[in-house]
A and B are shown apart, each in its own frame.
Chain A
Amino acid sequence: MALTMAYQIKEHCLAEDGQAVAQDLTCFHGTEAMSTTIMTSNNPLLRESVPMPVPHVAALAVQKAYRKGEHSVPVLHGVDISVRKGEFLSIIGQSGSGKSTLMHLIGLLDSPDIGEVQLEGQRIDDLPVRTRDELRNRVFGFVFQFYHLLPELSLMENVLTPLMIRHSIWNYWARRREFQDRAKAMIDRVGLGHRLTHKPSELSGGEMQRAAIARALVAQPEILLADEPTGNLDAKTGREIIDLMSRLNEREQLTIIMVTHDKSIAAEAHRTVRLCEGRIETLTDAA
């Protein structure tokens, strides 16, 4: 619970104080610079002697198996992965390699059989359900392959959903103007300002994905989890989405974990992890 509180406060700062954000970003750059030096060093000894900064989010030796009838189908065989703050990581692999599952585990949509998920060094996968719900709402933002907008709601309402979930009715009602402005600003940023009242069925695939990103970002998450965000889009639109994400990563130091099977898309990330049959195969550009 204490953890949640911490995030609450942090979120507040971010929301209310633009300067705070700026400050945050500056310290960020410092860390980034330091860690980059460590990472680019080729001397393994040096790497071990310098204390590693605490990763932003990490999965430690996670194992996961699904039950299909009587058979247990292993999906992940002990995967270690850690992401620094402000890093853009892409996970690639073939279908069934467990990349989506890994992301679900990190995003607390599922819990690992063995191993743990850590956020800033603290274990989060065994927190109470309520706290995990809160973390999903405040810390993680999700973007899915099939956009997953709620069909009954307009674009504006879809984007507002995370805020509606976060606040109680009265709280939300009292601050609805502020939230609406915030959502509108976010929608403008993804370039859909002219489509506020449209239903998802009236939007194109690219627009829906941009709406989904706006929804993920309006809650001001620290980590964006994107599950094949371009999987259902043509190359050009997919490129736009990736550009949007890269920009967000650069400008706001948003930590992004993206799952994809498209190598050219994955190349946009700082670092790429390849998963094969539930194990990490290669880390390109990794330390």
Chain B
Amino acid sequence: MYKLLLCQRYLRTRYIALASIISVTLGVATMIVVNSVMAGFGSEMRNRIQGILSDIIVETRSMNGEFDPEAHMQRIRELAGKYISGVTATVEVHAILSYKSHYDDYVPHPVNLVAIVPESKAEVGPLIDYLQSYHSHTVNGRNVPAERSRTEPLGWELTPDAMARRQEKADYYRKMAKLRNQLRAQREPEESNPSDPFAESPAVETANSENDDDAGKLQKGRLYVGVGLATYLAIDPDTKETKTYNMIQPGDDVRITTYSAGTPSPKYFIATVVDTFKTGMSEYDSNLVYCNLEQLQEVRGMIRHNEDGTETRAFTSLQIKLKDYKDAPKVIDILRANFSAENFNVNTWEQRQGPLLAAVDVESSILNILLFLIITVAGFGILAIFFMIVVEKTRDIGILKALGASSSGVMSIFLTYGLLLGMVGAGAGVGVGLLFVYYINQIEKFITFATGREVFPEKIYYFKDIPTHVDPFTVFWVAFGAVMIAVMASVLPARRAAHLRPVQALRYE
């Protein structure tokens, strides 16, 4: 009883010890904030990667792919149908996307070209959440309303606005071409030097122009292009504000260059950009292009014509969405057993992104170790202050022993004191940390306002708000660890107090 009473009194009267606990508080708060923000970023990133990749990916080892996706998908459903909520077949190849710049030359971009069937792709990932025509979004401070309702089925058609824009552009190009032809016709009699290598013949011109002729009629190839490819951010020289510039807009035609199946040889096709998408992962937004499956299969020669007049198409990967991701190991086992490792590679999205996820994990654990060192430093502060308190309390310890308190009783006074201090510090730290996490966006705005420098530019991180995720387990372990450190720091001073002989402690003269 006297132990608790004394602890409580010491806690209330020794402000110096409370000062030592502030470092524990700060350490705990920092750990909670850092962990929450890292977990927030991590889970956002994982969600996005998982959304793009789907849960389980069955890839063919060869870029030629395997024939008959329907049969394979049927087989997968038979084998593991009870775990699966969706399967889709895709063809994934490397490609170059080239678009015409304002100066009439082509700008190439290396891309990952994924040929999909939108309806079935939507079964394995939230495609509709990414496509921008389905969402209102902000461009240059202006709100662009959603052009389609979410109930509208996915497809490869243009929105009316994009169609109008396309026609307008086509008209413009047609007029320009007409003007140019007239000009050339006027000039031709006088020009006696037709050997100019850069002079374009009218025939070549029409063949090359994507927008010139078939105005309004879309190309056979249709694309969804990542926003990172379609736009770029730059500082407007006039207003000094970050502005989004469009390079590719829905309705534009671009050129896709890839290679054929079998013996690789270059292939290209012209495709109409139907929509842009934004996943929030810059890696995907600036590298990924979705294309209609039939077109790519055709261009790459992935169609086998059977004798009975039917045709069989090929795929390079099957994306599988599970009802519950926890079943992934079971499904992986089933699929690996049934799809020969010679031809197929069966992985979860995590296994495919292994190095990235591992790097994030390592980063977070190292950060945690470093932050915990801060709390340990705080522990040494407690140790020092406790020694001081023990010296200061030497006489009181002597009194207690004279009144019959045992060594272990005296020791437990100081251990309990350490425990209480740790609990107060860790509790305050948890409170401060959680409040900080809760108001992190307001705090960010304030710091931005106060320093005049953007702490969290959307341009870099792709997030409007700082994502946070508070894991109760992490909070518990951080608080528990801090309390333990406080207790451990009080062990040495407590032992010293316990081993004081009463006479030593009472010798006052």
Contact = CB atoms under 8 A, between A and B. Distances in A.
B506 A109 contact: yes
A150 B503 contact: no
**Chain A: number of interface residues, binned into ranges:** 20 to 34
B8 to A, nearest CB: 9
A167 B1 contact: yes
Nearest to A146: B508
B399 A152 contact: no
A136 B5 CA distance: 21
A250 B464 CA distance: 86
Interface centre among B2, B502, B506 (most CB of A within 10 A): B2
B488 interface: no
Interface string A79-120: 000000000000000000000000010010110000000000
B122 interface: no
B400 interface: yes
Contact of A137 (B4, B404, B407): B404
A165 B502 contact: no
A166 B403 CA distance: 9
Interface in B391-432: 395-396, 398-407, 409
Secondary structure of the B side of the interface?
Answer: helix
Interface in A124-152: 129-130, 133-138, 142, 144, 146, 148-152
A64 B6 CA distance: 34
B6 A130 contact: no
B6 A162 contact: no
Contacts of B10: 152
Secondary structure of the A side of the interface?
Answer: helix
Contacts of A144: 506
Nearest to B13: A152
A198 B481 CA distance: 39
B396 A150 contact: yes
Given A150-B6, A164-B2, A110 B503 contact: yes
Contact of A110 (B1, B403, B406, B502): B502
Contacts of A130: 406
A153 interface: yes
Contact of A161 (B398, B400, B406): B400
B404 A164 contact: no
B402 A142 contact: yes
Given A110-B503, A165-B409, A150 B399 contact: yes
B150 interface: no
Given A109-B506, A148-B395, A165-B409, A138 B404 contact: yes
Given A137-B404, A161-B403, A165-B409, A110 B6 contact: no
Contacts of A169: 1, 4
A147 to B, nearest CB: 10
A105 to B, nearest CB: 9
A207 interface: no
A133 B404 contact: yes
B403 A165 contact: yes
A261 to B, nearest CB: 13
Contacts of A129: 406-407
B409 A148 contact: no
A163 to B, nearest CB: 8
B109 interface: no
A123 to B, nearest CB: 19
B82 to A, nearest CB: 56
Interface in B485-509: 501-503, 506, 508
A109 B503 CA distance: 6
B403 A136 contact: yes
A148 B402 CA distance: 10
Contact of A104 (B405, B407, B503): B503
7 contacts: A109-B401, A109-B501, A109-B506, A153-B5, A165-B403, A165-B405, A166-B404
Interface of A: 104, 107, 109-110, 129-130, 133-138, 142, 144, 146, 148-153, 157, 161-162, 164-169, 172-173, 215, 219
The 7 closest A-B pairs by CB, nearest first: A137-B404, A152-B9, A164-B2, A164-B1, A136-B404, A172-B1, A109-B502
